[in-house]
Amino acid sequence: MQQYMELIRDNIAFLHQGIALLENIEDHIYQNDHHTYFQNGVGKHFRHVLDHYGNFFDGIITGIDYDARERDPRLESDRAFAIEKSQENINALTHLENRLDLFEKPISIKCNEGIDNCAENLWSESNLKRELSFLISHTVHHYAMIALILRIQGSNPPADFGIAPSTLKHQEMTLDR
């Protein structure tokens, strides 16, 4: 059960990292989607990350459909709303600590990822441990893009923003040699 608690806490930590970033950037940077080097700005990437958490919680009992994203445009333009939604996800993750029974049950997931055929056979079996690991990987991946977009716009995100925990550990070990 300890590993489940760690996955929950790690997801919470990444959402807190996102909140800290959102609190320290300006609206025009968050909202900017029109640049020579990117067409999806910081706001759209945060919205995408939060959509995945929303799908996770919406389907935790019946099946998680990552393709049925809400795509709320307000999340792409309103940093305060993105912070609010991030906090809601943190609260939901905290409550998940009281439902460790769910971790032992299989759950169906759907993620089309560009396949034209949306037939029912695209549902796969998974479990909450795997899906919480996926959310971390997915979040870090989008945070890395957010960090690059911020640098292109002249902002400086924290040095560890968008870097996988395994990479940070590897870098620490390399420095210790």
Of the listed ranges 50-59, 69-78, 120-129, 148-157, the least confidently predicted one is: 120-129
* Contact of 126 with 109, CB cutoff 8 Å: yes
**What pLDDT is stored for residue 30 in this prediction?**
95
Across all residues in the chain, what is the average pLDDT?
91
Q: Which residues 6+ apart lie within 8 Å of 93 measured at CB? A: 8, 11, 12, 15
pLDDT tens string 153-171 = 999 999 999 998 888 788 8
Q: Where are the beta strands (DSSP E) in 11-122?
A: 64-65, 107-110
Q: Given pLDDT bands bounded at 50, 70 and 90, which one contains residue 38? A: confident
Model pLDDT, residue 170: 81
Q: What is the pLDDT of residue 115?
A: 58
Sequence spans of domains, the chain: 2-176
- What's the pLDDT score for residue 39? 79
What's the CATH fold of domain 2-176? Four Helix Bundle (Hemerythrin (Met), subunit A) (1.20.120)
- Asked whether 41 and 32 are in contact (CB, 8 A), the reply is yes
Q: What percent of the chain has pLDDT over 90?
A: 74
